[in-house]
Amino acid sequence: MVKPSKETLIRYLKGNAEGDEKGIVELYLSMDMDSSYLEACIREVWQELEQTNDPEDDHEEKLKFYQLFESRKPEFIQYPPNLPFKENKKRFSLTSNWISSIAAALILISSILFLKNFWHQESSNPETFDKITRIEPNRDQAELILPNGDKITLTEQSEEILLPNAHLKIEKNEAGEIIYRSLIPKSAQLTTWNTINTPIAGRFQIILPDGSKAILNAASSIRYPQKFPSHERRISMKGEVYFEIEKGVDPQERQIPFIVETDKQEIQVLGTKFNVNAYSDEPFTSTTLVEGSVQVKAKESAEIILLKPGQEARLGNNFQLFDADLDALLAWKSGDFYFQQEDLSSISRKLSRWYGVDISYPKSLQHIRLTGVFSKSASLSTIIESLKNIHTLHVTYLAKERRIVLQE
């Protein structure tokens, strides 16, 4: 069989094989593979990485290369390629040859990549934590999108902003809350909508046109009219928002419901305090009632559930009702992370949204759980150190990608 070119073999080793290259290389590896040829290809990749000018980039590329092989090792050693050999003897010969050939490659990869990478991680842990220590959340901030598409950046320092063309006045009250004053006359039928977005690593608090309060967690948004109509007060949201809803009545003294829409459900209230977690990367949508009463309706099934104070409704395929741990569920509003035997997957999602980093780890670490209360104003290294105290971890921070890699 003709050997695949070095370029083809290197693309395969990196996981970038094109077209039929994967099958060609695997057929070559399953037969009388020239181990010295494979070794030369691997060394060539390593030498290219060694010659990069930026030491940080150099390490990042080596780590990616090593992690790729670690992830593909099971498929290398489990079975040979599915080739149409019918004789058992021949198939046994093929299998043995495949395992011995690829084992030589894996030993080489381990010796070149793993040992160097492990040494680098051990020696760079102080530097890694110095970098992680500098990862801090942003202060309160949000983006206001006006009906005409104009965008205004809002911060905790924002003072009065007058936008006559948008029929809007933005001001701050004595408590530091941002209040929106609609300049639309009460008699006008005009309905215009604003959107508030909080970025990753940000949060914001606003007073809606009816006097209700909304506190947005990181990477969240609400869309609301500058002036609510007389029959209902309807908004939509994504992410996580805590609401304190004012009671509303129309000129005939009839109560005006307040309705919150998410992608999967609709919540109807009159006057109450509640929290909604509707992040798209969470396994369910959660509604937690603090005070008053709410009715939650699933959009897909039309199932309806009524909540009492202290209850949490989780909507996945259907509703599930729980007694809520209000301290844990509302800690974010007070500026804390509250973990109660929380798994690493959930912790990673929360840290990613607040600190603006990606956190990756192998499946073998999914069992790690953490209990504790951490200030969201602290640096990320505080929580990473707590995880290290629970389980021996090697931590690498890839600054270019803003990614933290946890390994055993």
- The larger pLDDT score, comparing residue 123 to residue 104, is at 104
Q: Which two tokens stand for residue 309?
A: 């104070």
φ/ψ (deg, to 5) at 81: -60, 155
Query: Residue 84 has what pLDDT?
Result: 39
Band (pLDDT 50/70/90 cuts) for residue 233 is very high
Query: Residue 204 has what pLDDT?
Result: 86
Mean pLDDT is lowest, of 128-132, 214-218, 278-282, 314-318, for 128-132
CB 352 within 8 Å of CB 358: yes
State the chain's maximal CA–CA distance in angstroms: 90
Share in percent of the chain as helix, strand, coil (round to 5): 35, 30, 35
Query: Residue 83 has what pLDDT?
Result: 39
Chain CA centroid to CA 364, Å: 20
**143 has which bridge partners?**
153, 197
Place of tokens 């992608």: 263
pLDDT of 202 over the 50 cut: yes
Query: Residue 234 has what pLDDT?
Result: 95
Query: Residue 226 has what pLDDT?
Result: 82
Mean pLDDT, the chain, whole residue set: 76
Question: For residues 384 and 388, what is the distance between their CA atoms, to the nearest angstrom?
Answer: 6
Percent of the chain whose pLDDT exceeds 70: 64
Band (pLDDT 50/70/90 cuts) for residue 61 is low
Q: Which two tokens stand for residue 56?
A: 């940080």
Mean pLDDT is lowest, of 67-76, 129-138, 373-382, for 67-76
For strands 358-360 and 403-407, give the pairing: parallel
- The larger pLDDT score, comparing residue 252 to residue 68, is at 252
Band (pLDDT 50/70/90 cuts) for residue 115 is very low
Angle between helix axes 115-133 and 55-78 (nearest 10 degrees) is 130
Q: How does pLDDT run across 316-370, given as a tens digit for each residue?
A: 999 999 999 999 999 999 889 999 999 999 999 999 999 888 999 998 898 899 9
pLDDT of 305 over the 80 cut: yes
Which amino acid appears at position 161 of this protein? I
Query: Residue 33 has what pLDDT?
Result: 59
CB 10 within 8 Å of CB 37: no
Place of tokens 């998410």: 262
Band (pLDDT 50/70/90 cuts) for residue 153 is confident
* Predicted model pTM: 0.66
CB 259 within 8 Å of CB 268: yes
**For residues 171-194, average pLDDT:** 67
Question: For residues 334 and 75, what is the distance between their CA atoms, to the nearest angstrom?
Answer: 47
Query: Residue 173 has what pLDDT?
Result: 67
pLDDT of 134 over the 90 cut: no
What single string gives the DSSP state of each residue in 79-146?
---------HHHHHHHHHHHHHHHHHHHHHHIIIIIHHHHHHHHHHHHHHHHHHHT-----SEEEEE-
Output DSSP code: residue 255: B
Band (pLDDT 50/70/90 cuts) for residue 241 is very high
Around Cβ 33, how many Cβ atoms within 10 Å? 20
pLDDT of 254 over the 70 cut: yes
